[in-house]
A and B are shown apart, each in its own frame.
Chain A
Amino acid sequence: AQKVTQAQTEISVVEKEDVTLDCVYETRDTTYYLFWYKQPPSGELVFLIRRNSFDEQNEISGRYSWNFQKSTSSFNFTITASQVVDSAVYFCALSEGQGGSEKLVFGKGTKLTVNP
């Protein structure tokens, strides 16, 4: 069965610190997709990134970077030089199968607070 574990329930940092959010997943499929979503206080989930199981290249987008390691079943998310606007709950999610995101299994989320 699929499972996503985000062991960090809450993280608090001071602005400009780097912070890494951990995500560990379980799946028996060889084809799967991993996602990160951001949920600001308004409640709506915002898509950040999708990664397929065949692409282990790390990705960088501005201050955001993602490290995908199949050997440890992890898909960690790093925010560099954090800002107050980064405060949100971040969810890691997993989808199995060829089609991608028919069904997503979410972790419980990590609440990030960035203090000025």
Chain B
Amino acid sequence: DGGITQSPKYLFRKEGQNVTLSCEQNLNHDAMYWYRQDPGQGLRLIYYSQIVNDFQKGDIAEGYSVSREKKESFPLTVTSAQKNPTAFYLCASRLAGGLNEQFFGPGTRLTVL
């Protein structure tokens, strides 16, 4: 089955710890994205990557880091510098070029205690 996998669905961490959220896609998509969603808010772009080994900051990149070593994987690390990390995190991917929409994964709900 082709799609985007985010694991785990729910993640709990203690304050001050870094945590890495996984995002894998087997759609052979070129571009990948990370969004954050807070209650009653739309999605806000954290980071995106259009090709392997390259990525750009989105609107709220502070306190986050990413890597893109493989086309199918785009992990997001939430560092201790992120002041309010508790949120719902969504990963998306897209085939480059043309008018291709973004496809989204199921999301990871991160709770920092």
Q: Is A60 an interface residue (CB 8 A)?
A: no
Interface of A is mostly: loop
Contact B106 A44 (CB under 8 A): yes
Is there an interface contact between B104 and A101, defined as CB atoms closer than 8 Å?
Answer: no
Contact partner, B99, options A33, A43, A44, A107, Cβ 8 Å: A33
Q: Which residues of A contact B92 (CB under 8 A)?
A: 45
Interface residues on B, range: 20 to 34
What residues on B are CB-neighbors of A42 within 8 Å? 106
In the complex the two chains form, what is the Cα distance from A52 to B42 in whole Å? Answer: 21
A103 and B45 in contact (CB under 8 A), knowing A42-B106, A44-B105, A44-B106?
Answer: yes
If A42-B106, A44-B105, A45-B90 touch, whether A101 touches B100 (CB-CB below 8 Å) is: yes
Do residues A108 and B105 form an inter-chain contact, with CB atoms below 8 A? no
Cβ of B5 to closest chain A Cβ, rounded Å: 11
Q: In the complex, what residues of A have CB within 8 A of residue B101's CB?
A: 35, 47, 50, 100-101
Of chain A, the residue at the smallest CB distance from B104 is: A45
B44 CB to closest chain A CB (Å) equals: 8
Say yes or no for B55: interface residue by CB 8 A criterion.
Answer: no
Which A residue sits closest to B48, measured CB to CB? A103
User: Could you say which of A4, A102, A106, A109 contacts B50, with CB atoms under 8 Å apart?
Assistant: A102
State whether the Cβ of B94 lies closer than 8 Å to any Cβ in chain A: yes
Given contacts A4-B42, A43-B88, A108-B42, contact A100 B104 (CB under 8 A): no
A-B residue pairs, 5 tightest by C-beta = A106-B42, A45-B104, A43-B107, A108-B42, A106-B43
9 A-B pairs besides A102-B48, A109-B42 with CB distance below 8 A are: A37-B104, A42-B106, A45-B92, A46-B104, A47-B102, A99-B98, A101-B100, A104-B45, A104-B102
